[in-house]
Amino acid sequence: MTAEPIRSPTELPDAETQCVQLAELIRPRLYPETVLVGIHSGGVWVARRLHELLDLETEIGLIDVSFYRDDYRERGLHARVKPSSIPFDVEGRALILVDDVLYTGRTTRAAINELFDYGRPASIQLAVLADRGRRQLPICADFCPWRVDLDPSHELVLSAEASGRLQWSLEQHA
Amino acid sequence: MQHLHIRNARLIDPRNGVDEQLDLFIADGRIAAIGRPATDFAAQRTIDAAGMIVCPGLVDLSARLGGIEPELGAAVAGGVTSLACPPDSKPLLDEPGLVERLVRRSDTLGLARVYPIGALTQQLAGERLAEMNSLARAGCIAFSQAKQAIVDTQLLLRAMQYAATFGYAVRLRPQDDFLAREGVAHDGEVASRLGLTGIPVAAETVATATALQLAAHTGVRLHLSRLSSAAAIELIRQARCAGMPVTCDVAVHHLHLSEMDIGYFDSNARFDPPLRSASDRDALRAAVAEGLAAICSDHTPVDADGKQLPFAEALPGATGLELLLPLTLLWARQTKLPLAVALARVTSDPATILGLDAGSLTVGGPADVCLFDPEESWCVTPEALRSQGKHTPFLGYEVSGRVRMTLVGGRIVFAA
Amino acid sequence: MHNPQLNAHGELTHLLSIEGLPRAVIIHILDTASSFLKVSHRDVKKVPLLRGKSVFNVFFENSTRTRTTFEIAAKRLSADVINLDVTRSSTAKGETLLDTVDNLVAMHADMFVVRHASSGAPHLIADHLRRVGRDNVHVVNAGDGRHAHPTQGLLDMYTIRHYKNDFANLVVAIVGDILHSRVARSDIHALTTLGAAEVRAVGPQTLLPSAIEKMGVRVCHDLRTGIRDCDVVIMLRLQNERMNGALLPSAREYFRCYGLTPESLALAKTDAIVMHPGPMNRGVEIDSDVADGPQAVILPQVTFGIAVRMAVMGILAGN
């Protein structure tokens, strides 16, 4: 799949449809004991959708990587930190880490580090709705329905409407 | 000695009720004439003082001298020509020899005139009377305990009786030792909030009442130094109404600051007695305005080592000689008081309290003169101060009133 | 007036006192603390936030307990912790407070946790660091004189929020030696900032600072009046040296008048919680039946304290 350029926000695909596509990508490689771990906050929404669509039994884990970020020195602890919640034993598990957007790879790195502080999983795979490319670390997604090339001044944001429906938007940085 | 002619200045002499544009003529260290000179007066130097104010040199009721030379230099730079120095110097002024040495040294310097206050008790310990008669012969003009209290009221009574025997004045800083124990700030809102040990107003009123009762009993001439509270002022007012000749003074910083100026533990706002509430400050301002109290600088040079400490451990006091005039002018401007009235509080009033032939511009009297520009403003910075004490809560303030020239005994001892 | 705890961007750079802290900053600390609380339950109780940073515990006054909680908090943030017992070493040799600070700055300290017997000592240190251009070094006040113990105040607020959710309708009684208590002052500032409905200062006149009502509290000299219908009771420790007759006739009489017993606690709301900053004097300010009873939340306070101190250090070091 080659990355498609986006010229206007109206060209953004439907996030809910992408969740279904992502679930179908994961389904063939699902083990009975596979658990999803969503990264706050977009990744958690996606993980909840996948949990429903894949009809998984084990509750999903939630992870906030604020305490593991590598830009703490520059940014400090400002945003509201949500508690991480891993309601299962990580030791020996097959985990799928879920995020909305994969970009530099730094958030994924922080999430993997945090997960290892809960125990030693059997494996970690990565599922994302969108892959923006431009990686700064040797990380790639195992499951991804949408590869997209965006100008670095744009931020691709997933948000949940009042109805709970997930939706993409583009935010321009100054 | 030089014959001087100061012309075009506004001449303010509170004692003689003068406030108008008059020339001043000085000869042989004394005021030769005011307005018109004697026909044979030949000025060797004429000073054009247009836009300036000429007033008597300031008389400071309380200035501590760390290094004598720099502090007396600071005095004349601040227009102060006479100052009383409390006995808690190092060494203490409880030995006639030490007093003589201080007088001799300050005479040699020829800057401001120094009037030592002798120790009332030996070592200021409040246990045995000092040799007041010998100390007076050596040059002491009054006796005090500085910041020490005489806890033993019987000894205080005896000290007053003994001083009264010779007609010496006794000066007390009224503060009850027990009530002020470990206190570092006014016992009120700010001390409570900051967790500082408080000194209640009662510490001052109890000691004031005791001093007033004993003074009435002994007939001693009593002066109370550095009052800080409205309640103590009220006691003085009552005593004066009852005909007691008691006098008192207020430190100039107490006219401007309150406990709020401690801010977040600013050790520059650590004073003894402490800065009190805003209503106390207002009462002090009113008392000074009506002439019940004089103003002193309470000059206390403290070095950085003494101030860069947690508030309670820092040394109290601030530099003041060079701020006495500007802060008095500031108070006068704020309270819309005539300049002549304000200047009386730092010239004629303290001279009367100390019994000095000073604080006025009287023909035939000593030519101790201050010439200042009332409009020139300057910023209070460590560099702008000649005193070795660089600490004051007024650092960074823009003040008006710059001394241009100071004369002591007709000699120019400071010019800028 | 310049708030010495905030930097030019209004961010918290030192924690010196609760006084002057914006409400949002307090809430941010409490929220962050709840995330750290979860970390303490994990297998690996550490996060890498302060990796490579040096935290100096500089205690000019002994307190093994408080020092330990700060040490645990710093270690759980992966910081290197150096404990200095300054009571014995440098000051005994005549070194001034600021000399000690300069020396530690020269050793590349990133954060000072300071306990000092003099009110305002941490302010002096923070002010000194600003003057010498070392704004990047953070100061946490771990208790100064009678002035403030802000992390204790924050952990008390965490505890109250944990059990009561909200501050809006709360009636809180602080009972005991408020005159000498830095905890009481920090709690009062925090409670008034967070909007508690009523804060009562309960104790005999000898143990209440003058003009305390200016801090926004209601003064009660009678324990029963003070406790009636309140939601939270904070008992303060009565130091041994206060019991010897100068401020109070005896510990026995104090307990009779101001000790919290099951009978007096019954006057509070039935779901009222009882807090104490520790260490307790059983039988002096608090009856064992209350201290060990179902309404006491004294041990949870200790647990929350670690998370709150992690939050404070985590937020400061990032600003």
- pLDDT 10s digits, C250-272: 999 999 999 999 999 999 999 99
For residue A63, which phi and psi values (nearest 5 degrees)?
Answer: -135, 135
pLDDT given at position C234: 98
pLDDT digits (tens, 9 = 90+) for B214-232: 999 999 999 999 999 999 9
Sort strands B247-251 and B294-296 into parallel, antiparallel or unpaired: parallel
Percent over 70 (pLDDT), chain B: 100
* Contact in structure between C251 and C284 (CB atoms under 8 Å): yes
Q: pLDDT: is B253 or A174 the higher one? A: B253
Q: Which amino acids of B are annotated catalytic?
A: 298
User: Which helix (H) or strand (E) covers residue B374, if one does?
Assistant: strand B369-379
Spatial distance between the Cα atoms of A82 and A66, rounded to a whole number of angstroms: 9
A172 band by pLDDT with thresholds 50, 70 and 90: confident
Domains, chain C, with CATH or none: 23-149+303-317 (3.40.50.1370), 150-298 (3.40.50.1370)
Q: What is the DSSP string of B261-294?
A: GGTTT-GGG--SSPP--HHHHHHHHHHHHTTSSE
Mean of pLDDT values over C276-286: 94
A121/chain C closest Cα distance in angstroms: 13
Q: Which fold has domain A12-172?
A: Rossmann fold (3.40.50)
- Contact by Cβ (8 Å): B126, B160: no
The three-state secondary structure class of C74 is: helix
Residue B94 to residue B159: CA distance in whole angstroms: 14
At residue B7, does pLDDT exceed 60? yes
Residues of A with CB under 8 A from a CB of C: 64, 66-68, 72-73, 75-78, 80-86, 113-114, 116-119
Per the confidence metrics, is the pTM higher than 0.90?
A: yes
For residue C133, is pLDDT > 90?
yes
> Chain B residues with CB inside 8 Å of C128's CB?
308
Query: pLDDT band for position A1 (50/70/90)?
Result: very low
Q: Are A and B neighbours with ≥3 CB pairs closer than 8 A?
A: no
pLDDT tens per residue across span C37-68: 988 888 889 999 999 999 999 999 888 899 99
Quick one: average pLDDT of C91-119?
89
Q: Would you say B320 and B295 are in contact if contact means Cβ atoms under 8 Å apart?
A: no
Q: What is the mean pLDDT of chain B?
A: 96
Peptide bond before residue B91 is cis, with ω within 30 degrees of 0: yes
**Average pLDDT along chain A:** 91
In C, which residues are within 8 Å of B309 by CB distance? 96-97, 124
Distance in Å, alpha carbon of C15 to nearest chain B alpha carbon = 13
Distance CA A92, CA B290 (A): 89
Q: How confident is the model at residue B356 (pLDDT cuts 50, 70, 90)?
A: very high
Mark which residues 252-311 of C lie under 8 Å from B by CB. none
Q: What pLDDT, in 10s, does the model give residues B299-320?
A: 999 999 999 999 999 999 999 9
Chains A and C are touching, with contact defined as 3 or more CB–CB pairs separated by less than 8 Å: yes
Note the pLDDT tens digit of each residue in B166-194. 999 999 999 999 999 999 999 999 999 99
Q: What is the pLDDT of residues A29-82, one digit of tens each?
A: 998 889 999 999 899 999 999 999 999 988 999 999 999 988 888 888 877 788
At A8, the pLDDT band (50, 70, 90 cuts) reads: low
Burial label, C139 (beta-carbon count in 10 A; 0-12, 13-18, 19+):
buried
Q: Mean pLDDT across the stretch B359-370?
A: 97
| Average pLDDT rounded to a whole number, residues B47-75 | 96
* Rounded-to-integer distance, Cα B213 and Cα B243, Å: 13
Which DSSP category does A94 fall into? E
Taking an 8 Å cut-off on Cβ atoms, the answer to whether C48 and A67 are in contact is yes
Q: Is C183 on the interface with B (CB under 8 A)?
A: no
Place of tokens 């929020």: C161
Question: Would you call C140 helix, strand, or coil by DSSP?
Answer: strand
pLDDT tier at A7 (50, 70, 90 boundaries)?
Answer: low
Overall average pLDDT of the B96-114 stretch: 95
Residue A10 pLDDT: 67
- pLDDT above 80 for B8: yes
Amino acid at residue number C275: M
Inform me whether the C-beta atom of residue B265 falls under 8 Å from chain C C-beta atoms.
yes
| Cα–Cα distance measured from residue C298 to residue C275, given in angstroms and rounded to the nearest whole number | 5
Query: Does residue B266 surpass a pLDDT of 50?
Result: yes
For C203-253, write each residue's pLDDT tens digit: 999 999 999 999 999 999 999 999 999 999 999 999 887 777 789 999 999
Give the pLDDT confidence score for residue B369 in this predicted structure.
98
Provide the residue ranges of all domains of chain A, joining segments of one domain with +.
12-172
Q: So what's the pLDDT on residue C275?
A: 98
| Averaged pLDDT of chain C | 93
Q: Which residues of C touch A68 (CB under 8 A)?
A: 47-49
Residue C309: the pLDDT is 98
Residue linked to tokens 């002591």: B408
Give the separation between CA A103 and CA A149, rounded to whole angstroms: 10
Query: Mean of the pLDDT values across residues B279-301?
Result: 98
